[in-house]
Structure 1
Amino acid sequence: MKNLIFVALAALSLTACSENETDSNVSSFSMQSASADYASQCSKPVQTVSGNINATNNHWTAGTIWEIDGIVNVQSGITLTIDAGTYIKAKPRTDNTATGVLVVQKGGTLNANGTATAPVVFTSYKLLDCNAATTAAPGDFGGIVILGDAPTNQPTTTTIEGLSGALYTYGGANAAHNGGSLTYVRIEFAGYDLLAPNSGNEINGLTLGGVGSGTVLNHIQVSYGKDDSFEFFGGTVNASNLVSFAADDDNFDFDNGYVGTITCALALADFNSTHSQSGGNPDSNGIELDNNSTGSTVTPITNPVINNLTIVGARNSAQGALYENAIHVRRNGKLTLNDAITTGYTVGILNETVSGAAVNPADLSFTNVSAHGFTFATASKIGSTTAALTISGVTATSTTSPATAWGMTQPFFNVTSTPWNVTPRNCGDFKGTWTNYSF
């Protein structure tokens, strides 16, 4: 549903808040500032960009809607600057090829820096057509891919998932690689599958391949994606204030030797969204983490450090059955987790081994973690057997239905009787004017 709040420019008023609660998918924090309203943007002129960024199209301003035709490349040595308040959409295609995909190749730079009241928004073309009757869908926008030469545990000739060809390789020896800056950015209704649904070769909302610590990522929200919201393929980049809302597949995916730090992140489910499956079974995780696709012990070992994490699924077990694990660590990956809450998934935290090997407690370094799961709060999977597992550093567990709120005011998005609110875990301005939880 489009959030046509131009009828009340005082979008942050309590009146607007109350009116927005009438729709079943609308939370009390769906209101936006006037600068972040689709209806106020849709009549702007449209500038289509295709091929490679160059000196004539390397500055995207807020007075224009920018339309990405196919795959647009920011090549080595080129910088693309996107101003605060700018809206970007995909040019629709009928030939089943990727469109609305912005790729920053090795050596390229993307500076997309919004503000709390004027974010940079990559979104569905259907929200910018000035027609309230059209409905956005996952896949309406392609996605953003940033590639760098920071270390991974794959060959530097490896092509990033979702694309094909030598132009789209990632990885190297430059841990301090700088791919630019993304701040106060929303990516909505993204995703593209190169081969077929759930092929394992998809474009995510934000894909990061070999991105280094010189890159700035903060206040980024990915909503209603067709695949993962955020995927980190190796690299050393740090990120803060991340929101994944209503992902079809995983909210946060780490593999191929990623070793950066994530500070203050929220994964929030909307059980009315689409849901990924594998073999007919739910396949959506809050976090999915592998060392690599084969589960080898090649280094660097995937081991993100995540500080202050909140993963919220569905409130009851029937809705929770649409999802798999809040946190799934497998294939010889490792996870360092400090101050985290998971709730509303079938399994809270699952540690899965390779080839029937025993669980290694050293793979998980947890401090002050609370875990809820409708079936298991914390578990191991060895071969085909899943069983309860005690994990050091998990200080509280629950398997109740309704799911445990863990002290949050009302964290479940689809409970219409009480406004959504993750307080006191709102470390990343998750309810700020830059976010949007209803469309």
Structure 2
Amino acid sequence: MGALAFEYPEEITATLGALDGFIRAEILTRHEKHADLLADSRRKYTPDGRFSPEVWEIIGEVRKASAEAGFYAMSVPEHLGGGGMGLLAYFAAWEYISRLCGPRHWLSYYIISHWAKGPSPVLAEASPRLRDEILPGIMNGDKTMCFALSEPEAGSDAAGIRTRAVQEGEGWRLTGGKIWISNSVHADYAIVFAVTDPDKAAARKGGISAFLIPTDAEGYTLESTIKMWGQSGTVEGQLKFENIRVEPHQLIGELDNGFKLAMLGVGLGRMYNSARAVGYSRWALNEAFEHIKLRKTFGKPISTNQGVTFPLAESAMQIHAAHLMAINVAQLLDRGQAASKELAMTKCFAADAAKQCVDRCIQAFGAMGFTNEMFLTDAYIAMRKITIADGSAEILRRLISKRMLDGDMAL
């Protein structure tokens, strides 16, 4: 018996069933086949933190197999060659992947194209020439991208970027730098946001444009990789641009109106992170409840102790609420409503609840919860990250309150 009165449409239900088969055939088998490699951080990563060539090849195999099976670009618009499924399907698929695989079978992270790293609606405004040049490799999983928006002095205040694209003939010269750019350590292309009209940008009335830059372009440098949480590996990098020549066809969307494109990407990220929050939390709760039924202290299962079960029950309530919120906002967005307030509420609530949920599950395991074999600390790190990624908890609360101050009191 399910916990929701809502039922996914038949198309989504069928997709989830097919996805289950793909995970078992392509993900679980690869983890089993390459268990020694994937468990050894010295072989998994290069000294600077990038995936080793062996591991990156396996990841590429997953992307390509998924593209062939129709999952990788399932929510990319049909006119770009994707499946055209909406955000409800996107949420449902990511939640299912996260719940079934957890962080233990992390190759599943590459089944569906992440909006910033592969094909997504963001590319809908690319020029015909640019689509012809990059889409085949992006759509089949052979090539990847990164989304270069954040800067050292422009994180939450994304409109305050300083990277510049100065007009030169029909094109531009791009100069500046970016930081915290996911997948920049491996990407073949970068969508770079730069100021093209300083006066408009200073007045917060546009003046920012988006360009697609090959990462092997002259003047493009991966300045450093950024390791976090004491981990050996990273997908985050710092980029430097020195007088890169940008041609007119590399502009994505309208000149001086790229910030709208940036917010489209961030919105997709909020939906994606809400799905991961619900999925990882359900995975962790399942692990915890199975454990507390078996673990005994003082001759009794620890499940008889309210001090153990009540915190888990509270998290279950919160994750159930987050699940309902996400399904609701996905449908609003699929209907064409802006729903920025509701999306901010969902992502903020889901991320906070997931972080606390995984922490409580670790507590239920005691010291065992800290071990690498349980992967609960991996889940915690992932959930802690998403309280900042694609809009921090503070920025989202600011957005919610601003919408309400402006008169949007619908709840």
TM-score over 0.5 for the pair: no
User: Whose helix fraction is larger, Structure 1's or Structure 2's?
Assistant: 2
Which has the greater radius of gyration?
A: 2
TM-score range, shorter chain: under 0.3
Relative to total residues, which structure has the larger strand share, 1 or 2? 1
TM-score under structure 1 length normalisation: 0.25
